[in-house]
A and B are shown apart, each in its own frame.
Chain A
Amino acid sequence: MRATAIGIVSLLAFLLVWHLLTTYRVVFFVRFTNVPSPLAVYASFTKAIHDPKFLMHILLSCRRIFIGFSLAAVVGVPLALIMGRFKLVHEVIFPVTEVLRPIPAIAWVPMAIMLWPTNEQSIVFITFLGSFFPILVNTLHGMSLVDPVLVRAAQCLGARERSIFREVYFPASLPHIFTGLTIGMGVAWVSLIAAEMISGQYGIGYFTWEAYSLVQYADIALGMIAIGVLGLGSSLLIRGAGHLVMPWRSK
């Protein structure tokens, strides 16, 4: 209750400072000369929500995130579970992922454009790459932390390999899987926006960059805020899914 109240006051103070900096066009190392005021951004927001083109940008970005992120989760989680269980698979795959992992997804943009026939596919691919590695690494970490005594407990209750995997390794790794999904979702957005700014024709990242080119400064801030809200929303979705899947962890 107290935290909420302070939070609201803090946000209002932020808006006020923003308002003052832009109305007085403060120049102090950074220049607020062309930065849009909160009111200007609000005005362009009310216009944009009635503009089907703006909504289409948002929908397209969401679709790319959905496809890229889902693919990363569907490939990354099972792969890491298998790597964590079978040493040989780990030994074969781990070196490759370790070499590829430090390459930021954005560095893949030119390669992705060459690899994939359409721009749309290459952007989804970039989003996939961004979320894939955090999901893989965190799931692997979860697998390595599974308490061996729980595996023993399952074994002397008659569990065989497949049941142990399903009833012990998988649920025991779930908290780390969800950590991976949360981080992966964040990196997916970072990668998506960068990819859209570089090679997109649609999407909220492209919208933001285009606003700069077209000297529609209020739209820059609108695009940024939209990206922030979408990122927040998607990470809330994952947290909610986590509570649903792991009822034993909620208070």
Chain B
Amino acid sequence: MSGIATSAPKGHIEVRNFSLSYETIDGAVQAVTDTHIHVKPGEFVSIVGPSGCGKSTFLNAVAGFLKPTTGTITVDGERVSGPSAERGMVFQQYSLFPWKTVRENVEFGLKMRGMPRSQRERAARTLLGLAGLEAFEKHYPEKLSGGMKQRVGIVRALATGPKVLLLDEPFGALDAQTRVIMQQILTNMWQRLKISVLFVTHDIDEAIFLSDRVYCMTARPGSIKAEIPIPLERPRQQSMMMSSEFLALRRGLMSLIREESLRAMGGEINDLGMQGLNIELHGHSLADVI
């Protein structure tokens, strides 16, 4: 099993002075500005923020799809210059190849690496077994449920033994029950593989439940507003989400995001003539926040 049974954690992500802007017809738009983050080897880190804050853009830059306008991204000291199998990615829309069976999807990265057919078939079967999908290896993705598709997506990204797993709102399209199961599966795989995870979500509970640390982003142009360590013990259980510790973390993060969401919507609210609503934000009126 190549890349599966590694012992020493790897995948130190370091992002410094990062900013990203892109050109539109109306001129340059600043998507992300002045962002510093790091992920220690083997650490699970989430980025949360109001929608449109540039967190997915940021993740795409770490994956190597977008070039930073300023700043650097390195993984284990090596500069990111383009997409690579070292940084596995899981997409919200699953992005499985519809013309490949479940097993062929999982084999893809190994095939690209030139692994012989019989060897990669065996590797893919083992991985699918870990995800409880061995019975579906010959199915085409279209026949699978959303949760199964995303399990294939995760297994496919892990098959090449990447140093880092990047996930872009991977469970956003799933129902609540499936989502909880997927979070468990992801946690198990992460603990087993000891790789670094950078997880983008807008779901605060999900971020707290999964992560060692959570970065909260500001509204556009996105930058890091706060960094919150999550000192909850592992293994974590579903029941933990009712604990006072969890709820305190949740309240803190919630108000940070709320501030930013309102700031992002400030213009709209003003346009609608809704200043008089006096929405309360821990002591401040909306006007102070805007």
Contacts and interface: CB of A to CB of B under 8 A. Distances in A.
Interface of A: 147, 149-150, 152-160, 163, 167-168, 171-172, 174, 246-248
Contacts of B142: 248
B156 to A, nearest CB: 7
Interface stretch (B8-16, B92-100, B256-264): B92-100
A7 B244 CA distance: 70
A159 B112 contact: yes
A126 B93 CA distance: 45
Contacts of A157: 85, 88, 108-109, 112, 156-157, 160
Contact of B91 (A153, A160, A168): A153
Interface centre among B85, B97, B140 (most CB of A within 10 A): B97
A248 B99 contact: yes
Contacts of B84: 156, 158
Interface in B122-148: 140, 142
B interface residue count range (under 10 / 10 to 19 / 20 to 34 / 35 or more) = 20 to 34
Given A156-B84, A159-B112, A248 B160 contact: no
Given A153-B97, A157-B108, 18 more contacts: A152-B89, A152-B95, A153-B89, A154-B112, A155-B65, A156-B63, A156-B88, A157-B112, A157-B157, A158-B85, A158-B112, A159-B108, A168-B97, A171-B97, A171-B99, A172-B99, A248-B100, A248-B101
A158 B160 contact: yes
A186 B87 CA distance: 48
Nearest to A245: B99
B52 interface: no
Nearest to A246: B99
A160 B113 CA distance: 10
Contacts of A150: 95, 97
Contacts of B64: 155-156
A248 B140 contact: yes
A158 B65 contact: no
B83 A248 contact: no
A66 to B, nearest CB: 28
Contacts of B101: 248
A65 B112 CA distance: 39
Nearest to A168: B97
B139 to A, nearest CB: 10
A153 B87 CA distance: 11
B89 A167 contact: no
Lowest 7 A-B CB distances belong to which pairs? A158-B85, A157-B109, A155-B83, A171-B99, A158-B112, A248-B140, A153-B95
Contact of B83 (A149, A152, A168, A172): A152
A66 B63 CA distance: 48
